[in-house]
Amino acid sequence: MQEFIKKNLALVYNVLLANDGMEGIKLLEREEVDLIISDIMMPNMDGIEFCNKVKSSFLWNHIPLVMLTAKTNIASKIEALEIGADAYVEKSFSISFLSVQIRNLLESRRNLLKKFTETPFASLKSIAGNREDEEFLAKVNDIIEKNIANVDFTFEHLAEELHVSSSGLFAKIKNLSGITSNKLLLMVRLKRATELLNENKYRVNEVCYMVGFNNPSYFAKCFQKTVWSIAV
């Protein structure tokens, strides 16, 4: 089954293999993964325990997970979905059906990121795919907003306030948003600048300092690179 799935999906995706849940955890610790396909019946660590570990992890809970199973009873489906599986596919399935499930999950993720990066008033938490990430991103946004006028506020300060390591936060932000932490910080500043400029109460130079820039020329340059930029 594993080789059959890999053979078909490798035509479109880069496929990494793990033989059980324990190997899957080790793989996640060293690789960046966009989507997980897991069987329920596995040795050492079954799919339910594996899914639970993934979905309770700060670093991995945003990753879409498709559960494969020979079990057709409703109780098994409910258990998998309750611990966070994003899709449930019964064996025997057509590879076309599985491919559609994968494509839809990845496309949904891309659409969230596209909306955030290309729409001025889309909030940071709009890229969240689950409640845990929504709460995390709301907290990130609140901390940035609280410090937005501070030109010296950096990604490292953000990690300190969240009580997480810089490396862990970098990986989480990159996996969630598709952009680096510093670029995310810049984008939140520029989105706030857009809101202030739309109020028509402040001059451009004032807004520059209000959102943590100390150079109006650099601010204008960054702002004009945004997809939604207005004349400044």
The 10s digit of each residue's pLDDT in 72-87 is: 778 877 888 888 899 9
| 52 and 165 Cβ atoms separated by less than 8 Å | no
**pLDDT top residue among 16 and 114:** 16
Q: How many whole angstroms separate alpha carbon 180 and alpha carbon 153?
A: 16
Q: What is the CA radius of gyration of the chain?
A: 21
Please report which residue ranges of 119-231 form alpha helices under DSSP H: 131-146, 155-162, 166-177, 181-198, 204-210, 216-224
Amino acid at 152: D
DSSP 199: T
Q: How many whole angstroms separate alpha carbon 171 and alpha carbon 118?
A: 22
- Judge if pTM exceeds 0.95: no
Q: How many whole angstroms separate alpha carbon 223 and alpha carbon 212?
A: 13
Set out the domains of the chain in order of their start, with CATH numbers: 1-115 (3.40.50.2300), 120-229 (1.10.10.60)
What angle do helix axes 131-146 and 155-162 make, rounded to 10 degrees? 120
Per residue in 91-119, pLDDT (tens digit) is 777 899 999 999 999 999 888 888 888 88
Q: How many whole angstroms separate alpha carbon 198 and alpha carbon 231?
A: 11
pLDDT above 60: residue 144: yes
